[in-house]
């Protein structure tokens, strides 16, 4: 990926790379969330996975929808059609939830993280 993809003319390519890397990191974030949940004596890996896969993606999708609405309102040529935007959002939400759940499952199966010091 070169820096030419960050040019506003290539807005769709920027969105593609953004969502691609966002989905790939879903597994890692689920794994880390489950390990931290277990460290702090959490009981449900599924609840941790659900919170991880909803809070940040929900915020980012609201930001994305706001930008697209502004593009539509201003009749911009960079506006992405609603059908394509909905398809991208659906793919990201479903794949992210699945990847976070799988990562959280594997993270919760591991042993508790050993802290280097004991506090009294």
In a domain, 114, yes or no: no
Helices and strands of the chain, counted as H and E runs:
3, 0
Taking the C-alpha atoms of residue 67 and residue 14, their distance in angstroms, rounded to an integer, is 14
Report whether 28 contacts 103 (CB < 8 A).
yes
pTM higher than the cut 0.75: no
- Residue 14 clears pLDDT 80, i.e. is over it: no
Q: What is the mean pLDDT of residues 7-15?
A: 69
Return the pLDDT at 11.
67
Q: Which domain holds residue 32?
A: 9-109
CA–centroid distance for 5 within its chain: 21
Is there a domain that residue 44 lies in?
A: yes
Q: Say if 78 falls within a structural domain.
A: yes
Mean pLDDT of 34-46: 85
* Total domains in the fold of the chain: 1
Q: Predicted confidence band at 102 (pLDDT cuts at 50, 70, 90)?
A: confident
Q: How far apart are the first and last CA of the chain?
A: 50
Quick check: is 119 in a domain?
no
Q: Is residue 82 part of a domain?
A: yes
């Amino acid at each position: 990926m070169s820096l030419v993809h960050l040019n506003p003319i290539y807005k769709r390519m920027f969105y593609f790379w953004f969502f691609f890397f966002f989905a790939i990191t879903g597994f890692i974030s689920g794994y880390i969330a489950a390990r931290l949940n277990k460290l702090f004596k959490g009981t449900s890996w599924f609840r941790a996975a659900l919170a991880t896969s909803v809070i940040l993606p929900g915020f980012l999708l609201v930001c994305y929808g706001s930008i697209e609405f502004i593009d539509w309102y201003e009749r911009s040529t960079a506006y992405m059609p609603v059908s394509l935007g909905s398809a991208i959002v659906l793919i990201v939400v479903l794949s992210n939830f699945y990847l976070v759940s799988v990562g959280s499952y594997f993270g919760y199966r591991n042993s508790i993280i050993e802290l280097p010091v004991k506090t009294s």
